[in-house]
Chains A and B, each alone.
Chain A
Amino acid sequence: MKTFLILGAGTAGSLMAREMSRKLDMNEWKVILVDKDDNHWYQPGYLFLPFGIYKPQDVVKPKHKFIPRNVDFIISDIELIEPEKNSVTLAKDKKVIQYDYLVIATGADIHPEETEGLKNGGWRHNIFDFYTADGAAALGDFMKRWEGGRLVVNVVENPIKCPVAPLEFLLLADWYFAKRGMRNKVELVYATPLSEAFTKPTSAKALGVLLDQRGISLETDFYAGSVDSTNNKLISYDEREVPYDLLVSIPTNMGAPVIKKSGMGDNLNFVPTNKETLQSDNWQNVWVLGDAANIPASKAGSVIHFEMETAVANILAHIAGKEMTHKFDGHSLCFIESGYNKAVMIDFSYEQEPIYGTYPFPVVGPLSLLKETTFNHWGKMGFRIMYYDMMLKGIPVPLPSKFSMAGKIKK
Chain B
Amino acid sequence: MVVKKIAGKEVQVNDEGFMTNPAEWTKEIAVEMAKEEGIAELTPAHWAVIDFCRTTAGTSGKTPTLRTITNGANVTTKDLFGLFPKGPAKKVAKISGLGKPEGCV
Contact = CB atoms under 8 A, between A and B. Distances in A.
Interface of A: 157-159, 163, 193, 195, 198-200, 203, 221, 223, 225, 237-238, 266-268, 296-299, 332, 346, 348, 353-354
Given A221-B86, A238-B81, A238-B85, A267 B104 contact: no
A221 B90 CA distance: 11
A403 to B, nearest CB: 12
15 contacts: A157-B66, A159-B104, A195-B90, A203-B105, A221-B87, A223-B77, A223-B81, A225-B77, A237-B78, A238-B86, A296-B102, A298-B104, A299-B104, A332-B105, A354-B105
Nearest to A272: B60
Leading 6 A-B pairs by shortest Cβ distance: A237-B81, A296-B102, A159-B104, A238-B81, A221-B86, A267-B67
Contacts of A354: 105
Contact of A296 (B86, B90, B104): B104
Given A199-B103, A237-B81, A296-B102, 8 more contacts: A157-B66, A157-B67, A163-B104, A200-B105, A223-B87, A237-B77, A237-B78, A237-B80
Please tell me the size bucket of the interface on B.
Answer: 10 to 19
Contacts of A348: 105
B68 interface: yes
Interface in B39-78: 66-68, 71, 77-78
Contacts of B67: 157, 267-268
Interface of B: 66-68, 71, 77-78, 80-81, 85-87, 90, 102-105
Contacts of A299: 104
A22 to B, nearest CB: 31
Contacts of A195: 87, 90
Contact of B104 (A199, A221, A266): A199
Contacts, number: 49
A158 B68 contact: no
A225 B78 contact: yes
Nearest to A238: B81
A199 B105 contact: yes
A354 B105 CA distance: 9
Nearest to A296: B102
Contacts of B86: 221, 238
Nearest to A203: B105
Contacts of B78: 225, 237
- Most A CB contacts (10 A, CB to CB) among B81, B85, B103, B105 go to B105
A267 B81 contact: no
